[in-house]
Structure 1
Amino acid sequence: MTDLRPLLAGEEAVLALNNAHKVETSLLTQFELDTMAANAWRAWVVGDADAVLIAFDQDAAYDSPNFLWFRDRYERFIYIDRVIVAAHARGHGLARKLYEATMADMRGAGHNLFCCEVNSDPPNPGSDAFHSALGFEEVGASRLEDRSKSVRYLARRV
C-alpha cells in the first residue's frame, strides 16, 4: 500500500477517489484529471488508488484561482493542488509519505516554498490538523468567486 508511482492517463480508480472527495477538492472528468497530471510538476499515486497527490510549480499552465493566488505573490514555489487518501487507507501515513517525497524532490530542484490551500468553509479539520503538524502557516485567505467555498492559503519553507 505504500509504493509511490506516477499517475497515468485514464486511471478510473483515481478519478473515482477524487470525485468521492469533491467537497474538499473539486469534481473532475477523466480528461481534466489526465490534463492535470500531464501538466503537473509531480502527480503520484499510492497503490491502485489508496492516495493521490498532484502538485504544480510556478510555471505550470494551470488556471485554478488558488494556484494563481500563489503565483501572484511568490516567484518560485510548489503548490499542492490536491492530496486525497481513501477512507480504507487512512491512518497509514500515506499523505505524510506523499508530502515527504514532494519535499525531497523540491530540495533537489531548488524549490523552498511549499504551498496549498485548505477549505475553511466548508471546514476541513482533518486537513487543518495535518498541515499544522507539518509546520504549514497561514499566509492568506479568500472566498472563491463562485462563493462556493472559502479557503485559507498555507505555506511552509523547506
Structure 2
Amino acid sequence: MSIVIRDVREHELDSVLALNNNAGLAILPLDSAKLHRFYERAEYFRVAERDGNLAGFLVGFGSASDHDSSNFAWFRERYPQFFYIDRIVVASRRRGGGVGRAFYADVQSFAELRHPQLACEVFLDHGADPALLFHGSFGFREVGQNLMPEVGVRASMLMKELCSYPWVRETYGDDLPDLPWARTRQLADARTERPTGT
C-alpha cells in the first residue's frame, strides 16, 4: 500500500497521456507531442506508483525554463524566481488516498533546494473548492487571477514561500551535495547523448 514517487520513464508516456486526458475539466488535455516536450524539458516529471500501478504524475518547471503556458508566463511577468507546478493528475481510483499529498511533499523538497517560491494555479470554473482547500492546507495563497486566453478558463494563481531556500542557498550556493534525493532530473537530451567514438 506504499506510494513510490520516481522519475517518469519514456515507455510510460502513453499511460501518462491517458491519465491526463481522463482527468476531467480541472486539467487541460494534452497530445503526445506536448507530453514529449514535457519529457524532454521539465525539470521535474515524476510519477506515483501504488501497489505497482501508475497512480498519477506531476510536471514542474523552474522560472528560467522554456515553457509556453500562459499561466507560467503570468507568474514570470511578476516574480523573478519560482518553481511552477504545471499539472498534477491523480488517477480517479486513487484520489483521497494520499497520492496528491505525497507529490506535494516531494515537489516541495525538490523546489526548495533551488527556488524561493512554489507556484501553481487552480481552475475556478469547475468546482474549485476541494482543490483550493487542498492547496491552502499546504500554505499556498492566492496572488491574483488569470483568464487563460487560449481556453477562456479563469485560474486562481497560487504561491507559497519556501522557507528553507535562503538557508540552502547561503550554505550550498549552486553546489548541492550529490545525493539521490537532491539530484536534478536527467533530461531526455542528456540521456540520448553518446560518448564520442561510439
Fold shared, TM-score > 0.5 on shorter chain: yes
Alignment RMSD: 1.5
Counterpart for residue 67 of structure 1: 72
Structure 1 residue runs of 4+, over 4 Å off?
A: none
- Does the 8 A contact of 2:117 with 2:160 survive in 1? yes
Contact 2:23 2:91 in 1 (8 A): no
**What corresponds to 1:24 in structure 2?**
26
Return the offset for 1:147.
5.2
Note the C-alpha offset of 1:122: 2.7
Q: CA deviation at 1:155?
A: 0.4
Which secondary structure does the structure 1 equivalent of 2:124 belong to?
Answer: strand
Report the TM-score when normalising by structure 1: 0.92
Give secondary structure in 2 for the equivalent of 1:143: strand
CA distance in 2, matches of 1:100, 1:145: 31
- Which of 1 and 2 has greater Rg? 2
> How many residues are paired up?
157
Report if aligned partners of 2:23, 2:92 keep a CA contact under 8 Å in 1.
Answer: no
Q: Which residue of 2 aligns with 1:4?
A: 5
Structure 1 residues 87 and 145: CA distance shift in structure 2, 3 A? same
- Indicate if the aligned counterparts of 2:61 and 2:83 stay in contact, CA closer than 8 A: yes
Give the letter for the 1:78 counterpart.
F
Match of 1:119 in 2: 123
Per-residue deviation, 1:38: 1.8
Q: Which runs of 5+ in 2 are unaligned?
A: 163-198
Q: CA deviation at 1:145?
A: 1.4
Distance 2:99 2:83 in 1: 19
5+ residue gaps, structure 1: none
| 1:22 CA drift (Å) | 4.8
